[in-house]
Structure 1
Amino acid sequence: MPKTLRTFLTHFLRPYRPAVFTILFLGLFWAIETSLTPYLMKEIIDRATEVSHGSFASVLHVLWPFALAYISMTALNSASFRLREWLLLKTIPSLRKDIWSFLYDYVMAHSYHFFQRNFSGSVANKISDISRSVDEFLTNIAETFLTKIMSILIACVSMYLINPFFALILIVWSTVFLLASLWGAKKANRLAKKYSENLSLMIGKTVDGIANNMNVRLFSRQVEEMRNIQRYLSVNAVKDRNLQRYLIKLRTFQDSTLVIFLAVMLMLLIYLYSQQKVSIGDFAFILTLSISMINGVWLLASELVKLPEILGRFSQGLATLSITHEIQDIENAETIRVKKGKIEFKDVDFCYGAGQQVFKGLNLTIKAGEKVGLVGPSGSGKTTLVNLVLRYYDIQGGTILIDGQDISKVTQSSLRHSVSVIPQDVSLFHRSIMDNIRYGKPKATDKEIFQAAKKANAHDFIRRLEKGYKTIAEERGSNLSGGQRQRVAIARAILKNAPILILDEATSALDPVTEKEIQAVLDKIMGRKTCVVIAHRLSTLIDMDRILVFKDGSVVEEGTHKALLRKKGHYAYLWAIQMGKIPVLKN
């Protein structure tokens, strides 16, 4: 992942080098044209003055080479602009696509922890910021910089050949003006960076509020949420105002110096012409070129002021997105081959960052085809165990094996392809029901999808929807009930047909009738798969081959439902609580 603008541009512009070099060559042509056109006009004026009393034929004979050259330069200038537009049309959309797809792919490879730390809306905004910044840098900044700098240099040389005195004035003024603008741009860069940081945070907070709009309504917190957003908006307005106020001051200084410079040049020209030290052609050449340079230098200075904002937006986005992936495949990682589904934890140590230790020397084996339930209080390590099987986090010590293969040495993609997960809170894409089910197997036929939906007891309710399988699931599937979303998720898992199945509180949020229906479906799809079931509702684990009871990151009890009740330990205590019995057993 490129870490700077230079390396970023070098990486992405490599396929477009012919177009880029052609555009740069056109910039050189425009720089030459800026000085050559006024020079041709000077020659036309001077020669027209010399033969002002001649016949049409004699005047045309003197002027036609310069007039033809002037017209040709104008025509070439117009043609070059159209060529530039065509090259940009061929390059920029494809470049945007390349950058966006690369960043999206890189972001999606970040760890589970990355998405817990960063707002999804803020991450999406940073992808947009980077793409837009590169676009603006190439189409405005880089092109303007190169063209205008070359124009200034060529203009100074041209002016020197005609009148060294005015060339010296132009060089000194351009240097002072640009250095002053560059100095002013440094402060603008600091202000732009602060504004960009706060804008990204504000967008993230806005998306967070919108995504949780149901909670806002349920707790009647519209006013509080609005106040919260208003605070960020107020801070953002202050930072934006500080930036814009400074830019106004800087541009006022630039405008004032431009007016003064033009006035000085014009007065000097009038004086020297009155003393007959410059011809009328020289007068026109110096004035036209000076005005052209004033416009060029002002545009260059304006882009210098914009540059910090663009670089600030780019660097801010890249700083967040380009961090090294926490979970990476090793070099030449192999594809895992899961035939049986045996899971082993050997002396596993794990903690979240520098936080509390979750597992210390954990040893655990889940046999192939075994149905294992995980119970225990919140924070005891149940979900962490599942996350480690999926390699959402890397362990600090020990080994996790599936069918004897170390999961840290296989590709993450193949590992997760071998595991199906049905979570408590099912999230659906804003796509059709058909596409959401097909996500489990992208090349599945419609017939396979229908069969999976029937097995999940989802086919009937889907057909009753207004557009059937073509019905769009709204934000996270909000237009479907909890039971319907679960059935779609189960159909997706059936279609995926992975050898290992993980159920993370898959029925805990459902009403008893729906839970019983879906539990029956789950019992059917478990089949011979290795199944890991997390549940707080112990009644769903009665038929498990084995139940593991977690406490403080350790397995304190294990056995079948009946065996654990006979032990009268932690599991029996939890069962007594859920059955409404008096908890007379030890804690």
Structure 2
Amino acid sequence: MMERLLERFERVIDPYDDEGGESERARRVGTLRPLPANTNAFIWHFAREAKGPFIALLITGGLTGGVDALLYAAVGWVVDALGSSSPATLLADHWALLAGLAFLTLVLRTVILFAAAVLEQQIVTPSLYNRIRWQAYRRLMDQSYTFFQNDFAGRISQKVQQVGEATGDFIVTTLQTFWSFITFAILAVAILGAMDVWMGAVLAVWSLGYGWIVFHLLPRLRKAGRETADARSVMSGRIVDSFTNILAVKLFDTSRRQDAFVLDGFRRFVEAVRAMTRAVTAVRTAVAILNGAMMTAIGAIVVHSWTVGGASIGDVATALGLVLRLNQMSGWMMFNINGLVRNYGTIQDAVATVSLQPRLTDQPDAPDLRPSGGAVEFRDVTFHYGKGGGVIQGFNLSIRPGEKVGLVGRSGAGKTTLVNLLLRLYDVEGGRILVDGQTISDVAQASLRGAIGVVTQDTSLFHRSIRDNIAYGRPDANETEIEAAARRADALDFIQTVRDPNGRSGMDAYVGERGVKLSGGQRQRIAIARVFLKDAPILVLDEATSALDSEVEAAIQDNLAAMMEGKTVIAIAHRLSTIASLDRLVVIDAGRIVEEGTHSELIRRGGLYASLWRRQSGGFLGEEAAE
């Protein structure tokens, strides 16, 4: 019964809701509102999304502090009651006091603490924390390709994990723990001040001293917390980078350079932690001195008051109990304030990443691309990765619907950059790119990429089943269609032999992170099968068969020809023999077209293409020196 009750509370907050992107359409066209970039506004944004539970936390926090203060005051009342009655008359003389204290401790306090636990553990922690992470993740996924190229995947992931927990902990601690302490302190001042004005004055001075520590010493801790969070994410990113590229480390890092790189991350983290712990020690020492002076002063005043008849034994018990509890709570509260400051620094660090405005976005209400024949046109396109030098400069190229075009040139000529611009992984810096007469920057990115099938040289797969990887571009495909695509890519035979460590086999087998359980050629055939299944009107082949041996490549050449039938094709290949039969070859050098024509025409012309063809002799195009 208790479990069912708690499960009902767990549904109060939807952990997957996103009030900044109510519809799937909004997310798809990139119109999600960015999360607030200011740390305080970021915290307030999520506090408002769960305002009901947080108001309840504020109430239970205040009640908890009030009940604790009353219980310590009640110690004095009980002592005085014991002194004024005999054992035989105690119950008759003070039954109301004793019954009230029993109700306070047995019923009211239990209900308040239960409510506080349910609010924190069932309503807020499992749901709101995840909601923050989910919203941060969604907005990061709207970032451009460049954003992910410029950072560690592990570091970005760490920030998503940290920001959910840090934001939730900050709000919960502020509303429950911190407010409970404030309530207790206010009631303690009121109770002791009513007993003796000097005790009230001491506590007033103590409160000012505590405030001084919070506002003057804790900023150092906040800065250290932010730097620690950043150092932790860098360390995590370097560790993940090592694991992701473990094969390269094993093959090339004979002098353990990677260990030194990761060790530098560890050292930065340790130094940041040491700076933070020095600040923590300074704060704890200041609190110890302040509390020691407060307890000594209150003890001296109340004992002196008793000696002159101004206070009863119960008053002494109340005063000493309250100040001892206040000492305990203030030390505990300072620890929590340290946590608040560290969490605030973590939020600050994460917000700088998860709240960035995406640089590559769709226009509001951008329409979907309406593909008709697959015509592609580059009009005076300029792009240089923001470096000031022209990688692509004034580039013009028209590709007719259904035309098969090969892009040829030395490494660094700009071939893959042109493909990335067509896919709008980057925005052009000048000129326009059109697909079927529609400027690609005016349409929804998802619809543009949905109309283009891509096979790249560097194929990485998801750590999921082979079936899921093939169907990734068309998740509604049935088993027959998936198997047909695998067969056309000459992949079905090897798929049937794959078995993973968990006993899954064939289409159900998992391929490992980035597809490491498969060979390069097997990964490439899975990627080709994925494009077969997607059946998009425009096909981009960027070294699509480079990872295949000659026998396998020959086996799927006919299928590739069938896949290209009726489609507009843009193919890049260093092995020129694989694209020699295309309708037109466009030779690019330094971001400009220097030749174009059929294979035979370009050979007869005796230009750059003919030179590359002679040097290749059926092999791969090497790094040619500029002539």
TM score, norm. by length of structure 1: 0.94
Q: Choose the corresponding residue for 1:573, options 611, 614, 620.
A: 611
**Counterpart in 2 of 1:204?**
237
Residue 69 in 1 paired to residue 103 in 2? no
Work out whether residues 58 and 175 of structure 2, in 8 Å CA contact, stay in contact via their aligned partners in 1: no
Question: In the TM superposition, what is the alpha-carbon distance from 1:235 to its structure 2 partner?
Answer: 3.1
Matched AA of 1:550: I
What's the secondary structure of 1:345's corresponding residue?
A: strand
Letter in 1 for 2:102: I
Cα deviation for residue 184 of structure 1 reads 1.5
Task: Return the alpha-carbon distance in structure 2 between the equivalents of residues 323 and 10 of structure 1.
Answer: 17
Distance verdict in 2 for CA 1:152–1:319, change over 3 Å: same
Q: Could you tell me whether the CA contact under 8 Å between 2:173 and 2:340 is conserved in 1? A: no
2:256 alignment partner, SS class = helix
- Pair 1:435 & 2:468 matched: yes
C-alpha distance after superposition, 1:291-335 (max 9, x if no partner): 222223222322222233211111111112322101001011001
| 2:496 counterpart (459, 463, 476) | 463
Partners of 1:355 and 1:392 lie apart in 2 by 19
- Contact 1:368 1:529 (8 Å CA) reproduced: yes
Task: Pick one of 266, 280, 290 that aligns with 2:299.
Answer: 266
TM-aligned CA deviation for residue 524 of structure 1: 2.1
- For residue 115 of structure 1, what is the aligned residue in structure 2? 148
In structure 2, the CA distance between the partners of 1:288 and 1:394, relative to structure 1 (3 Å rule), is same
**Matched residues, percent identical?**
36
Q: Is 1:491 paired with 2:529?
A: yes
Which secondary structure does the structure 2 equivalent of 1:360 belong to? strand
Give 1:331's aligned amino acid.
Answer: P
Deviations 1:418-471 (CA, angstroms, capped at 9, x unpaired)? 111101011100011111112121122122211211121111111122311111
Measure, in 1, the Cα distance between the counterparts of 2:44 and 2:293. 41
What are the equivalent positions in structure 2 for 1:144-163 lying under 5 Å apart? 144-163=177-196
Write the distance in 2 (CA, Å) between the matches of 1:358 and 1:512.
33
Which of 60, 65, 70 is the aligned partner of 1:26?
60
Separation in 1, partners of 2:557, 2:131: 45
> Residues 188 and 243 of structure 1 are in contact (CA less than 8 Å); yes or no, is this contact kept in structure 2?
yes
Distance 1:355 1:517 in 2: 45
Does residue 44 in structure 1 map to residue 78 in structure 2?
yes
Q: Comparing 137-146 with 319-328, which one deviates more in the overlay?
A: 137-146
Q: Which residue of 2 aligns with 1:35?
A: 69
Distance 1:97 1:461 in 2: 40
Contact 2:160/2:350 (<8 A) preserved: yes
Encode CA deviations 1:517-550: one digit per residue, 9 max, x unaligned: 3433322211111111011111011111111100
Measure, in 2, the Cα distance between the counterparts of 1:13 and 1:458: 51
Offset, 1:170 = 0.9
Distance 1:67 1:372 in 2: 93
Contact 1:184 1:305 in 2 (8 A): no
Measure how far apart 1:15 and its partner are: 4.1
Give distance in 2, aligned partners of 1:257 and 1:279. 27
Conserved 8 A contact 2:229-2:346: yes
CA 1:518–1:244: 2 relative to 1, 3 Å = farther
Q: CA deviation at 1:194?
A: 2.5
Matches within 5 A, 1:471-510: 471-510=509-548
User: Following the alignment from structure 2 to structure 1, what is the Cα–Cα distance between the partners of residues 156 and 512?
Assistant: 21
Q: Which residue of 1 aligns with 2:399?
A: 366
**Counterpart selection for 2:134 from 91, 101, 115:** 101
TM-superposed deviation, 1:222:
5.5
Does the C-alpha gap of structure 1 residues 306 and 91 become closer, same or farther in structure 2, counting only changes over 3 Å? Answer: closer
What is the CA-CA distance between 1:199 and the residue it aligns to?
A: 2.1
In 1: Cα distance, 2:233 partner to 2:464 partner: 27
Distance apart, 1:346 and its partner CA: 1.4
> Contact between 2:235 and 2:265, CA under 8 Å: does it hold in 1?
yes
Matching of residue 394 in structure 1 with residue 427 in structure 2: yes
Q: Distance in 1 between matches of 2:481 and 2:564?
A: 18
Deviates more, 1:226-235 or 1:200-209: 226-235
Number of the residue aligned with 2:46 = 12
Q: Which residue of 2 aligns with 1:245?
A: 278
* Contact in 2 for aligned 1:182/1:304 (Cα 8 Å): no
> What corresponds to 1:81 in structure 2?
113
Match of 1:280 among 301, 309, 313: 313
Q: Distance in 2 between matches of 1:580 and 1:10?
A: 64
In the other structure, the counterpart of 1:525 is: 563
Q: Secondary structure at the match of 1:439?
A: helix
The alignment yields a C-alpha RMSD, in angstroms, of 2.0
Matched letter for residue 465 of structure 1: V
State how many pairs are aligned.
Answer: 580
After TM superposition, list the pairs within 5 Å mapping 1:410-449 onto structure 2: 410-449=443-482
Q: Is the 8 A contact 2:47 2:171 kept in 1?
A: no
Equivalent-residue separation in structure 1 for 2:514 and 2:498 (angstroms) = 17
Q: What is the CA distance between 1:568 and its match in structure 2? A: 1.0
Counterpart of 1:539?
577
Q: Is the 8 A contact 2:202 2:297 kept in 1?
A: no
Partners of 2:245 and 2:39 lie apart in 1 by: 36
Letter in 2 for 1:473: V
Contact 2:57 2:172 in 1 (8 A): no
> What's the counterpart of residue 216 of structure 1?
249
Larger displacement relative to structure 2 (74-83 or 321-330): 74-83
Partner SS state of residue 574, structure 2: coil
2:96 partner letter: P
Q: Would you say 1:345 and 2:395 are equivalent positions?
A: no
- The 5-angstrom pairing of residues 153-192 of structure 1 reads 153-192=186-225
- Cα 1:16–1:238 shift into 2, 3 Å: closer
Conserved 8 A contact 2:37-2:351: yes
Structure 1 segments of 4+ aligned residues over 6 angstroms from their partners: none
Structure 2 counterpart of 1:394, one-letter code? D
Q: Distance in 2 between matches of 1:235 and 1:358?
A: 37
Larger displacement relative to structure 2 (164-173 or 195-204): 195-204
Q: Is the 8 A contact 1:34 1:292 kept in 2?
A: no
**Are the aligned partners of 1:127 and 1:317 in contact in 2 as well (CA < 8 Å)?**
yes
- 1:173-213 CA distance string (max 9 Å, x none): 12212312431111122222332222222222222222111
1:127 aligned residue (157, 160, 163): 160
Write the mapping of 1:295-314 to structure 2, written as runs, cut at 5 A.
Answer: 295-314=328-347
Paired AA for residue 605 in structure 2: K
Of 502-511 and 547-556, the range deviating more from structure 2: 502-511
Q: Which residue identity lines up with residue 61 of structure 2 in the other structure?
A: G
Aligned equivalents of 1:222, 1:523: Cα separation in 2: 47
CA distance in 2, matches of 1:355, 1:321: 28
Unaligned residue ranges in structure 1 (runs of 5+)? none
Cα distance, 1:44 vs structure 2:
3.2
CA contact (8 A) 1:34 1:289 kept: no
Q: Which 10-residue stretch deviates more, 268-277 or 368-377?
A: 268-277
- Per the TM alignment, residue 241 of structure 1 is displaced from its structure 2 partner at its CA by 2.2
Tell me how far 1:106 sits from its aligned partner.
0.8
- Contact (CA 8 Å) 1:137, 1:310: kept in 2 or not? yes
Q: Which residue of 1 aligns with 2:595?
A: 557
Q: CA deviation at 1:234?
A: 2.5
> So what's the TM-score if we normalise by structure 2?
0.89
